[in-house]
């Protein structure tokens, strides 16, 4: 057993960093036994050194560059976010031969190539389990447990804030605005919720998952993205009537053409999820990821996708792995991008649609609507029609909900554009995709 201590620098002492430092200190004996050498904290990088936070002041520094460069630091744990200054600090660490553990999804989704190359050149580890779905182990199962299988699809709820909002809308009938205000008051949504509600956070995670699952470099820019801001209480009513819930999904898929050519799709959007689908009952701030692999079949990972302690659990797993590799002289799996599959555009993706529209109450409306679907070769699976009344209780048209069979996204969006032009259609209230049903 090696006696030489492994030196660790933690950058960031916020929600996650505080828990990581606590575990390093409180579990020192267990960690030493698991690693084969003691893990010693050399310093903690913060912005405000003077702020009292229960860590000896001598341990804190705002000179990140100097901390990362210390000779007695073997592993750098980056928990500062956002992209900068984290990227610069990680690059400096890797270039100086230090292994890196990070929870920074935005950075990993944007700069994987640069960071992976630097790790490769220095022959050190770059681990980022905590960047996707907090405590839930999903990166390691994909890179290691399923390394001999062929992953076909990864679909998940990977953003707790939006899942909290959508769950509240489903449970209480609240509007999007009220559910968001409630989430903000309870601390589930940030002061600026854009990254969550517009799907940017989920898109970063989708890029990371797709890259690993399909051995292809996928960045956040390659991910098709729609947020949840247009989902309405009426959509939830219709979803319930159709036996569905509505979830913000991150979907990564291997598409194989008739001629056997493969492409990768990565996309984030709110979708109707049938209640018997495993993701339909993932509620509140919880996350879940369903992986479908050729030999393994369907696997589901479920748990806390955020929070200081749960995220620290994933960070610590990476830290122990990186430390063990230092002690034993090996390295963990490096970036695998050999497949270099092309990215499919959203228009080529086969999907099902739910279209909710207001129409005039007159003969021939249904057949005019159905004709547009047929003209674009989109087959209708289900139609529901409900009469509407105005404030005086007088009939004023009807609401039609159409659920389609599978067609390409392009054909479906052209159909919706054509419907909007019809004289009998007063308004297209909403258009959502439908997950989990391949009919």
79 vs 349, beta carbon nearer ligand NAP: 79
- The whole-angstrom separation of Cα 63 and Cα 49 is 10
63 vs 423, beta carbon nearer ligand NAP: 63
17 vs 270, beta carbon nearer ligand NAP: 17
Does residue 232 sit in helix, strand or coil?
coil
Min. distance of Cβ 46 from ligand NAP in angstroms? 4
Report the candidate in 252, 207, 253, 217 with the shortest Cα–Cα distance to residue 338. Answer: 217
- The whole-angstrom separation of Cα 281 and Cα 24 is 35
64 vs 416, beta carbon nearer ligand NAP: 64
Min. distance of Cβ 51 from ligand NAP in angstroms? 6
- The whole-angstrom separation of Cα 76 and Cα 128 is 12
Min. distance of Cβ 399 from ligand NAP in angstroms? 40
Min. distance of Cβ 310 from ligand NAP in angstroms? 7
Given the rule CB under 6 A, which residues bind ligand NAP? Answer: 12-17, 45-48, 51, 62, 64, 79-81, 85, 103-105, 130, 134, 306-307, 311
265 vs 287, beta carbon nearer ligand NAP: 287
- The whole-angstrom separation of Cα 265 and Cα 270 is 16
Tell me whether strands 99-102 and 126-127 are parallel, antiparallel or unpaired.
parallel
Q: Residues of 77-87 as b/e, b for ≥16 C-beta within 10 angstroms?
A: bbbbbeeebbb
Cβ-based neighbours of 174, under 8 Å, separated by 6 or more: 168, 182, 233
Min. distance of Cβ 352 from ligand NAP in angstroms? 32
When computed from its CA atoms, the radius of gyration of the chain, rounded to whole angstroms, is 25
Min. distance of Cβ 103 from ligand NAP in angstroms? 4
Does residue 177 sit in helix, strand or coil?
helix
340 catalytic? Reply is no
- The whole-angstrom separation of Cα 419 and Cα 375 is 11
Contact 125, 78 (CB under 8 A): no
Given the residues 121, 205, 259, 360, the one annotated as active site: 205
The shares of helix, strand and coil residues in the chain, as percent rounded to the nearest 5, are 40, 25, 35
79 vs 246, beta carbon nearer ligand NAP: 79
Residue linked to tokens 């890179």: 143
Cα 389 from chain centroid (whole Å): 41
- Catalytically active residues are 205
């Amino acid at each position: 057993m090696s006696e030489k201590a492994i030196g660790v620098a933690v950058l960031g002492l916020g929600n996650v960093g505080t828990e990581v430092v606590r575990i390093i200190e409180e579990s020192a004996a267990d960690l030493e036994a698991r690693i084969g050498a003691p893990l010693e904290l050399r310093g903690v990088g913060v912005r405000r050194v003077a702020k009292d936070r229960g860590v000896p002041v001598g341990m804190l520094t705002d000179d990140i560059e100097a901390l990362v460069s210390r000779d007695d630091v073997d592993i750098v744990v980056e928990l500062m976010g956002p992209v900068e200054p984290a990227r610069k600090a990680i690059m400096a660490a890797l270039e100086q031969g230090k292994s890196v553990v990070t929870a920074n999804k935005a950075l990993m989704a944007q700069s994987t190539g640069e960071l992976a190359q630097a790790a490769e050149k220095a022959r050190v580890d770059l681990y980022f389990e905590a960047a996707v779905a907090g405590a839930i182990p999903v990166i390691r199962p994909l890179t290691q447990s399923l390394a001999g299988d062929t992953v076909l699809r990864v679909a998940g709820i990977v953003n707790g804030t939006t899942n909290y909002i959508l769950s509240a809308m489903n449970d209480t009938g609240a509007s999007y605005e009220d559910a968001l205000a409630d989430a903000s008051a309870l601390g589930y949504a940030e002061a600026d919720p854009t990254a969550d509600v517009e799907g940017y956070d989920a898109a970063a995670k989708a890029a990371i998952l797709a890259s690993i699952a399909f051995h292809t470099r996928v960045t956040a820019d390659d991910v098709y993205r729609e947020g949840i801001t247009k989902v309405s209480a009426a959509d939830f009513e219709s979803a319930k009537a159709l036996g569905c819930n509505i979830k913000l999904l991150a979907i990564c898929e291997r598409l194989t053409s008739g001629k056997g050519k493969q492409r990768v799709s990565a996309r984030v959007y709110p979708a109707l999820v049938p209640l018997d689908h495993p993701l339909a009952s993932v509620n509140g701030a919880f996350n879940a990821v369903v992986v479908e692999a050729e030999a393994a079949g369907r696997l589901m990972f479920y748990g806390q996708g955020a929070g200081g302690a749960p995220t620290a659990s994933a960070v610590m797993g990476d830290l122990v792995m990186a430390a063990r590799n230092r002690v034993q002289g090996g390295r963990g799996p490096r970036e695998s991008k050999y497949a270099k599959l092309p990215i499919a555009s959203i228009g080529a993706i086969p999907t099902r649609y739910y279209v909710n529209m207001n129409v005039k109450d007159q003969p021939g409306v249904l057949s005019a609507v159905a004709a547009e679907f047929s003209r674009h070769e989109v087959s209708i699976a289900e139609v529901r029609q409900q009469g509407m009344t105005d404030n005086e209780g007088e009939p004023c048209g009807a609401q039609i909900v159409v659920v389609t069979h599978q067609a390409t996204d392009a054909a479906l969006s052209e159909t919706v554009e054509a419907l909007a032009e019809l004289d009998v259609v007063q308004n297209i209230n909403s258009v959502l995709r439908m997950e989990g049903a391949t009919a």
